[in-house]
A and B are shown apart, each in its own frame.
Chain A
């Protein structure tokens, strides 16, 4: 409450001139409008330009449906796997000291710094027909590149840092005292994780999952390299949008794009809700401290 009241009361001494305020505000809003709102509106406008019927038709088309299905499947596989590995990595880094810790942190950041196209290429070089493991995979009739496993791998690589990066600072800030207390009280490592560590990080974790999910659904570059663009088989929605666009099928292209945009909007709402929840919880804790 304290913080709110101090920011609400502003004297002329701490405020800029009116024209400065307006200038900055206008600049910011114009920028926001041109770079964020306008493109979003244009997607829906383009998609609906020839009416709802055509829009609907474009979405119902089997290739579009299969692309959407593949996107959701890939997301459903890669996000939970990244969830497990992200939590494990963050736990190890934040709660334990070991040799090579900083190297591990750097490795986790690698997908952020490497171009997604390079990420896709790595998998082609390893699993592709001319790659290291290519002959062996062919001999055993296992398809990874130009098939679903390759897409999942590429998506996982690109989205790996999201959850770990979100959790490491949070877990480091919380320290290890609660875990130590649980251990002294007789809890096993497993019990400590489920009953102490996980409840303490749940909001941060959910936030990471949402970001990871958004990226997994929208990933283009890495997936494009390993997918092979086989319609109805290895085409994800972002790839399908590109194909349709290149075929001058604008309505269908924007219709599919609008689905991705909708998913992004849903993600944003979820993200905001999680942030709001976390803030509320923290505010409650702070208020409680001041009360007593």
Chain B
């Protein structure tokens, strides 16, 4: 089922959580709402679910206005950040809850409920935990049970609020891949909220980058990472070096981007910084302060003559050939850069 969000606005007191947001979620896709905390992503998710009422605008489910439809009737599955499992019920009863509360004429009988619950528990690979209580599970297990519970009611839309936020890094990585696989299996329209760019880029079909109640960019992970639409997206998705054209005269001109006057800023990713030992046109002089090898990459911290810091990344192989040492003077230039006008508010 597709979801259409039309100029949805939400105000909390004097704080604008959502400023007339428009967005379309296509049927069957896995969409990530990405942004820093307070950007309105969770509010938007809760408005889609019906847990929050918008001040203005409309929500269409499959082309039909659902703005005033009660949460109960929206047929959405919602996975809460802290799972919100029913603590006094076993895992089995948690998953069965959505089926048991149905009105009599649509409620499946006990055998059917049993079959469905075990099917879902098998899907999340936790059937062996059916008789345990939520307090007896680990964080990752609770998250998967919460997901099974949300899927039990066969939702048309699956909404996940920071689904991996409360887990440690290793479990998080596992669950990410697992969620991706699950989505390929179940193929229900899904929206998840995250502040972790890596998570959004790895899991989602499309990423919506949000900031201060507005959408900055919508696109595939490649699109938002490689061609960020705004300086905010550039900075939020990964590390970036800023070069002010006024300060580093002429520097921003390199590549295919000409300088847009005095007040231009060039955004360059660390891995797009090229290091040279010999002077060349359109380079800046820099001193290497630190060299750190982190896994497959080597990160170099440099400083320009005026003291501005610059970060560069090399692959281990490239580093092995050049062997830069800290304290060394080098010449840097960007392989590619994006130029934005300076007055662009971030």
Chain A contact residues, CB within 8 Å of chain B: 177-178, 180-188, 191, 195-196, 199-200, 284-286, 288-289, 291-292
Contact = CB atoms under 8 A, between A and B. Distances in A.
Nearest to B100: A195
Nearest to A184: B78
Nearest to B152: A185
B135 A185 contact: no
Contact of A178 (B84, B135, B136): B84
A192 to B, nearest CB: 8
A185 B98 contact: yes
A188 B73 CA distance: 10
A200 B133 CA distance: 14
B138 A183 contact: no
Given A178-B87, A184-B150, 17 more contacts: A177-B82, A177-B84, A178-B86, A180-B78, A181-B86, A182-B101, A183-B71, A184-B49, A186-B72, A187-B101, A188-B72, A199-B88, A200-B88, A284-B135, A285-B87, A286-B135, A292-B141
Contacts of B87: 178, 200, 285
B72 A181 contact: no
19 contacts: A177-B80, A177-B82, A178-B85, A180-B78, A181-B86, A182-B101, A183-B71, A184-B50, A184-B72, A184-B76, A185-B150, A186-B102, A187-B97, A188-B72, A285-B87, A285-B133, A288-B133, A292-B136, A292-B137
Nearest to A180: B51
Nearest to A174: B87
A286 B87 CA distance: 12
Contact of A186 (B82, B101, B141): B101
A185 B138 CA distance: 23
Say whether chain A's binding surface is mostly helix, strand, loop, or mixed: helix
Contact of A185 (B51, B82, B97, B133): B97
Interface string B181-199: 0000000000000000000
A184 B70 CA distance: 9
A182 B150 CA distance: 10
B191 to A, nearest CB: 14
B98 A186 contact: yes
A288 B135 contact: yes
B98 A180 contact: no
How many of chain B's residues touch chain A, expressed as a range? 20 to 34
B18 to A, nearest CB: 19
A185 B154 CA distance: 10
Interface string B127-146: 00000010111100100000
B153 interface: yes
A186 B70 CA distance: 10
Contacts of B77: 184
A262 B98 CA distance: 47
Contacts of A181: 78, 80, 84-86, 149
B71 A184 contact: yes
A180 B71 CA distance: 9
A6 to B, nearest CB: 22
Nearest to A198: B88
B175 to A, nearest CB: 16
A292 B149 contact: no
A288 B85 CA distance: 15
Contact of A288 (B88, B98, B136, B150): B136
Contacts of B78: 180-181, 184
A2 B49 CA distance: 42
Contacts of B74: 184
A224 B101 CA distance: 49
Contacts of B149: 181, 185
Contacts of A180: 51, 71, 78, 80, 84
A142 B74 CA distance: 52
Contacts of A285: 87, 133, 135
Interface string B62-84: 00000000011010111010101
A289 B135 contact: yes
A186 B84 contact: no
Nearest to B80: A177
Contacts of B71: 180, 183-184
A180 B50 CA distance: 10
Contact of A195 (B97, B135, B141): B97
